[in-house]
A and B are shown apart, each in its own frame.
Chain A
Amino acid sequence: MHGSTRACVMSRSDPPRGRRGALLGAGMIALLTLLALFGPRLSPYAFNTLDWRHLSAAPSLTDGHWLGTDPLGRDLYVRTLYGLRLSLLIGVLATAVSVVIGVAWGAVAGYAGGRVDAWMMRLVDVLYALPYLFIVLILATVFGHDSITLLLVAIGAVGWLTLARAVRAQTLSLKRREFIEAARAAGLAPQGILLRHILPNLAGTIAVYATLMIPQMITFESFLSFLGLGVQEPRASLGSLIKDGASEMLAAPWMLLVPAVVLVVLLLCFNLLGDGLRDALNPTAR
């Protein structure tokens, strides 16, 4: 009785911490997504148009290159938004791949328990232990550099390991709850219990993990692109733009600053949203 009193007191006195941040994050993500989709149309240039009159031009409002150009005369505003689009796409798709595999793997392992669980999780441990970057390098040389599918598979394959572990841990604790026992006692089959009682109760956790995973995926893609293993010319992602910008850092600093700022803002927004979601869905904080 005392516990409930204290919980009620605490929940009312706590400020809606993080909620404003989460809303800001969500709003900014929506804005950036809209910009990535429709922003390039506002400019007369395409992402691969070469403007010979403006090579390495600084940002200016008069010539239409609002954020400047690169040494080949390509418009940085359009290329950054184009890169943002690709980075977002890869981040979201890779996360989706990870979530599907990770949730299925973790929930089945956690619910089955015993030997099945032990084998499934040992496999996860083995995959964790592989020198991941080497494998991506080998895959990239074998299958050629310019493959977004390869990139997706490569990135998605890391993410699901963490998620599988988290989902398994949650499933293990859910499995011991009485309402799961109630469902078993009512005669519900294991797949029914997983679909009807375990997955819906995991939804909060999964949502938080997914939102926090998207920025990780984007970072990883940028990292691969920065190494030259990701998106290839003439296409661009935020990572490849930063790579190009880094080599022109002294002559044309805007080439580095523009995509770098966009990347940082994007990651910050996703992290804000993820933290806010975690606070909102945490049942003990309610």
Chain B
Amino acid sequence: MRSTPPRAERLAAAPHLALEEGNGPDTVLAIESLGVDFGSGDQRLPAVVDVSLSVRRGECLGVVGESGAGKSQTFLAALGLLSSPARVSGRARLGVEDLLGLPERELDRIRGARVGMVFQDPMTSLTPHMRIGEQVAEPIIRHLGASRREARGRALELLERVRLPDVARRMRQYPHELSGGMRQRVMIAIALACEPQLLILDEPTTALDVTLQAQILQLLGAIKRESGVALVLITHDFGAVAGLADRVAVMRSGRLIELGTAGEVMKRPREPYTRELLRPLSGEAASESRAAPGPAVLELNDLGVRFAADSGWGRRRLWRALDAIQLTLGAGEAVGVVGESGCGKSTLTRAALHLIRPAEGRVVWMGRPPAGLPAREVRRLRRELQIIFQDPLASLDPHLTVERIVAEPLTIHCRELGASERRERVRRMLERVGLDGPFLTRHPHELSGGQCQRVGIARAMILEPRLLVCDEPLSALDVATQAQVLRLLTELKSAQGTALLYVSHNLATVRHLCDRVLVLYLGRMAELSSARRLFLAPRHPYTRELLAAIPVPDPDLEPARLAEVHLGEPPSPLELPSGCLFRTRCPHAIAVCAERAPLWERAGEGWVACHRFRELGS
């Protein structure tokens, strides 16, 4: 084990850390030289090393770092939520009590009652078989000893406080009937149920798209102002912290490396690592001096996809996941597809690759529609069209080695290749994505997320396809890895003239990579424009809202920006509004918007579907 220098010496070396004492009367939680390690005997693996932090009443502490930095571990350990193999040292005081010495029964009383927690995934944190109302009422009954009736009344109040729309009806529903954003609101309501002194939020917005993220952050800000609860916001994203946190702690490999007010840390970071995390992805937009796109690789003509929603008793309702999609992609061109989750982005990628059959319209690959070709011919053509998936681990067959995964396209399409030659090509391809020899024999579960995604890219690129479809390729990755993968994609596009269909809800990366951007709303096209034009002067009100929802890692600008976001929940795809689909959330909607759907009209060099884009135009 590594020996750590004595505390005094270290503090002298990093004077800004000495500010952290946390003995004031307002201190809610004070963590003092907390350490966590796993394993047994001599092989102990430190996860958290000597971390001291504190939170005061009415304060929000942002804890930022990449995955594996020990952010969650620190707070789980402080609350006694790590079980036996983890060894915890140090102190964690909540008020006057040292939590680390308390027996389990006492801790149970404190957790839930005096400390509320919200986790990243709102689906797995809610019990699937209980109604929302009961789940919110449960801690009130258990910790405050309220009657069932009182608890229900209190639950209703709480859910109104977290601004859950249509509360009375939602209380009788089950978690799966709520959207991700609504479930996260419910989780916050549960965490607030017993008026805790401290609320710990572990990546509360990571699973949500930008519009929902902004709304949840807005809500948290309001809760902080109204109730004076202390907040700990654990995240990998400085953007999420900027609007809310008073102080920010940066962690790396289990150590606290920087701590200060939000302004200090984000405006004048001391550590190079913090600067790295803060550096925006988009420098200059992709390729300013771009040549005209080559011959069409992919054409979508009036494409429509329908899914059946089963009610369970044989009644099927069809809903349009995609409607009237019109898009042409030339060689060497990158088109971004953006929109909220559920807008049909992923469906579009599957339909473009003919993995699901369209109900209307047609797909054309390099001048040939796959729907009219024999299956064998379609499979042969697939070598020119490859895909990178959102979840890098799920897209790799768990029982195959990296070598066999990357070699698979070769074994399908280049049968004449000998084993040694095939291995050589796999090796070269893996080197290009930055993975070397030893990786050949590994299995996917032995790799990190970023490494898995690079294996996925290697598999997609080994046949040098003409079109690469990317379905949220970065959303599962850390900031540093995102930059690497993005660099790789840019290089492929410029070096080989590969066309990219790039789907993402991360608008910054779209701006960085894409020439044109298509904005989808509930399966319909809202706007199609050059990336530069779209980000500088969006025409569709929905595009404006989307752009406004992107968080800015700047504590001076972010609170004002957050206050600007006013997009509610999207309507259910089964109960679409009449006329323009966006009118229910549009700040500029007028009578005509409810009467008829807007046309897909030419606007400058782009296209837009809005009745009022001319009057609203900047």
Contacts and interface: CB of A to CB of B under 8 A. Distances in A.
Given A5-B72, A197-B397, A186 B82 contact: no
Interface string A255-284: 000000000000000000000000000010
B115 to A, nearest CB: 15
Interface residues of A, number: 28
B85 A186 contact: no
A189 interface: yes
Contacts of B389: 178, 181-182
Nearest to A12: B85
A187 to B, nearest CB: 3
B73 A3 contact: no
Contacts, number: 92
Q: Which interface residue of A2, A5, A12 has the most chain B CB atoms within 10 A?
A: A2
A1 B478 CA distance: 11
A185 B52 CA distance: 50
A178 B82 contact: no
A1 B67 contact: yes
Interface string B389-403: 111001111111000
B409 interface: yes
B202 A10 contact: no
B76 A1 contact: no
A183 B409 CA distance: 8
Interface string A193-226: 0001100110100000000000000000000000
A2 to B, nearest CB: 5
Nearest to B117: A2
B124 interface: yes
Interface in B35-86: 38, 67, 72-73, 76, 82-86
A123 interface: no
B173 to A, nearest CB: 24
Q: Which interface residue of A179, A183, A192 has the most chain B CB atoms within 10 A?
A: A179
B395 A192 contact: no
A196 B408 CA distance: 10
Interface of A is mostly: helix
A182 B459 contact: yes
A150 B56 CA distance: 79
A275 B399 CA distance: 22
A201 B444 CA distance: 14
A10 B381 CA distance: 46
Interface in B148-197: none
A185 B409 CA distance: 10
Nearest to A10: B83
Contact of B380 (A9, A187, A201): A187
Given A3-B124, A10-B83, A200-B399, A188 B408 contact: yes
Contacts of A3: 120-121, 124
A178 B391 contact: yes
Interface string B109-141: 000000000011100100000000000000000
Contact of A186 (B67, B375, B382): B382
Interface of A: 1-3, 5, 8-10, 12-13, 177-179, 181-189, 192, 196-197, 200-201, 203, 283
20 contacts: A1-B203, A2-B121, A9-B82, A177-B394, A178-B391, A178-B395, A179-B397, A181-B395, A182-B387, A182-B395, A182-B456, A185-B382, A186-B382, A187-B381, A187-B409, A188-B408, A189-B376, A189-B379, A197-B397, A200-B397
